[in-house]
Amino acid sequence: MIRLYVTADLAEGVAVALDQGQSHYLASVMRRAVGDEVLVFNGRDGEWRAPIEVLGKRGVIVRPTAQERPQAVGPDVDLVVALVKRARVETIVEKAAELGARRVRLVVTERTNAERTRLDRLAAIAAEAAEQTGRLDVPEIVEPVKLQRLIEGWEAPRRLLFCDEAGDAKPALQALGEAPSGPWAILIGPEGGFSPAEREALRNLPYATPATLGPRILRADTAAISALTLWQAVQGDWGAA
């Protein structure tokens, strides 16, 4: 069944007007008709079965009739990624949503050399991935900040897995297995890696866990997928799946 992310509150019998893109998708692409059901969710009120009540030129209105799943809280892991080329950032956001990240936080480092990023487009990509994967929330996309500002404003007790392509860090699988559970974030650096000063600052943080993703240098999108996969396997909800 088609799943759609909406921003409106969801409750039994309360009509929900879909946006223009969703209305076009249901009416013109999927050729749905009045009475056909979809699933809607908003990240707050669970997932609801909602028949199409109005389908016309002005848009589509659905009316939730029954809650299929109550709202659930997923694993508390953020993906913190240095800005890279737009296409790779979009891939990272999509895969982070699929792999259960709660937030995607963008950072600017000394070696960041990237195109301008549209947060609204990234949010739309995250929502579409959430619709496809069956999760009940959509990852928050956080506006880019400088790495130093991110570090200074870090919230305890969230731990930071610092993926370090240089040095003598432990393998990520081992580092995660030895670390305590709780809220985490995973930091992926830019093309060209972190500067020596950034690496030293990160390694000196009491909440940071340096780790390596293997003997090969990975692109940012590959590194993000690999690190989130390892975190989910060791610290996340895959064991409960």
Render pLDDT for 155-192 as a digit per residue (tens, 0 to 9). Answer: 889 999 999 877 688 999 999 999 999 999 999 999 88
Average pLDDT for 69-81: 95
Kindly list the distances between the CA atom of residue 167 and the CA atoms of 134, 170, 182, 186, 216, in Å, as whole numbers in the listed order.
Answer: 39, 9, 26, 18, 13
Model confidence pLDDT, tens digit, residues 111-122? 998 778 899 999
- In this structure, the answer to whether residues 61 and 85 fall within a common structural domain is no
- In this structure, the answer to whether residues 173 and 205 fall within a common structural domain is yes
Q: What is the overall mean pLDDT for the chain?
A: 94
- In this structure, the answer to whether residues 129 and 14 fall within a common structural domain is no
Nearest to 50 by CA among 89, 105, 11: 11
Kindly list the distances between the CA atom of residue 189 and the CA atoms of 90, 107, 115, 120, in Å, as whole numbers in the listed order.
Answer: 16, 9, 16, 23
- In this structure, the answer to whether residues 159 and 182 fall within a common structural domain is yes
H or E stretch covering 103? strand 103-108
CATH number for position 54: 2.40.240.20
- Among 31, 46, 69, the domain-final residue is 69
- In this structure, the answer to whether residues 56 and 89 fall within a common structural domain is no
Q: Rounded CA gap, 169 and 151, in Å?
A: 20
Q: How many CB atoms lie within 10 A of CB 132?
A: 12
pTM of the shown model: 0.93
Average pLDDT for 83-96: 96
Domain around 157: 77-240
- In this structure, the answer to whether residues 162 and 64 fall within a common structural domain is no
- In this structure, the answer to whether residues 48 and 91 fall within a common structural domain is no
- In this structure, the answer to whether residues 226 and 172 fall within a common structural domain is yes
Q: How many CB atoms lie within 10 A of CB 180?
A: 9
* Residue 241, pLDDT above cutoff 50: no
Backbone angles phi, psi at 109, to 5 degrees: -115, 180
Number of domains in the chain: 2
Q: Which residues touch 148 (CB under 8 Å, ≥6 apart)?
A: 201
3-state secondary structure of 138: coil
- In this structure, the answer to whether residues 82 and 123 fall within a common structural domain is yes
